[in-house]
């Protein structure tokens, strides 16, 4: 944990994770576009459920129309491209967010959006729809659940971090006179807000017959 703190309180770690997932999703989309036929056949077999247990109680779910499976495959590719674009934008913002809370917040939101899209694709699309509705878990050859689970775990880790308090880059008010309070431009109408975040100063004004110093709240 000391090493992570030295690297920037996990910011370097999250930047690396964004970079890895952006590169990985970019390569997945690139591979699906340049080698369209391979995974098009995968989606077609999953929809057709032709390598499952062929139970009559579940085969009514199968879709054998090639146009529908191709359309679903195109939607998957478009979704992967969208994830890549959002995560690349998040990476750029992370790299440019040093000492800039607004850019850091935008980077966090973009990373959260990208990982949420990835969770929906691999968790909802591959595991729920492909794995359970089309019974992909029953197939020995056309089964992408392991790869989907790996991507889901990576995206979920990043998403949990970004939506937690530790992932919030907003600066917190420090003690009176600290850097965070000094950098705030207080306006005429901010007296109540300033009082809420600024601890009261206690100034000793003297002693009374040997007892504890009498203090008053500074105005």
CA distance 34 to 29: 9
Q: Across residues 94-107, what is the average pLDDT?
A: 83
169-198: pLDDT as tens digits: 444 444 444 444 455 555 555 555 555 555
The DSSP secondary structure of 200-216, one letter per residue, reads PPEEE---STTSSPPEE
77-96: pLDDT as tens digits: 999 999 999 999 999 998 88
CB atoms within 10 A of CB 41: 13
Q: Which two tokens stand for residue 77?
A: 């590719």
SS3 9: coil
185 contacts: CB under 8 Å, gap ≥ 6: none
Q: What angle do CA 147, 153, 158 make, to 5 degrees?
A: 135
pTM: 0.72
23 contacts: CB under 8 Å, gap ≥ 6: none
Q: Across residues 21-36, what is the average pLDDT?
A: 96
């Amino acid at each position: 944990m000391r090493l992570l703190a030295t690297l920037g309180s996990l910011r370097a770690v999250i930047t690396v994770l964004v970079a890895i997932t952006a590169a990985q999703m970019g390569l997945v989309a690139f591979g699906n576009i340049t080698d369209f036929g391979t995974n098009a056949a995968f989606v077609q077999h999953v929809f057709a459920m032709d390598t499952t247990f062929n139970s009559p109680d579940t085969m009514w779910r199968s879709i054998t129309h090639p146009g529908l499976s191709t359309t679903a495959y195109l939607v998957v590719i478009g979704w992967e491209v969208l994830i890549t674009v959002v995560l690349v934008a998040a990476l750029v913002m992370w790299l440019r967010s040093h000492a800039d809370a607004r850019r850091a917040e935008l980077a966090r939101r973009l990373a959260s959006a990208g990982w949420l899209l990835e969770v929906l694709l691999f968790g909802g699309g591959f595991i729920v729809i492909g794995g359970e509705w089309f019974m992909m878990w029953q197939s020995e050859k056309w089964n992408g659940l392991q790869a989907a689970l790996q991507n889901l775990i990576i995206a979920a880790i990043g998403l949990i971090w970004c939506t937690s308090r530790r992932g919030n880059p907003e600066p917190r008010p420090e003690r009176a006179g600290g850097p965070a309070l000094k950098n705030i431009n207080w306006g005429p109408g901010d007296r109540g807000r300033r009082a809420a975040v600024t601890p009261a100063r206690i100034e000793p004004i003297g002693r009374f017959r040997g007892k504890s110093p009498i203090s008053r709240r500074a105005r």
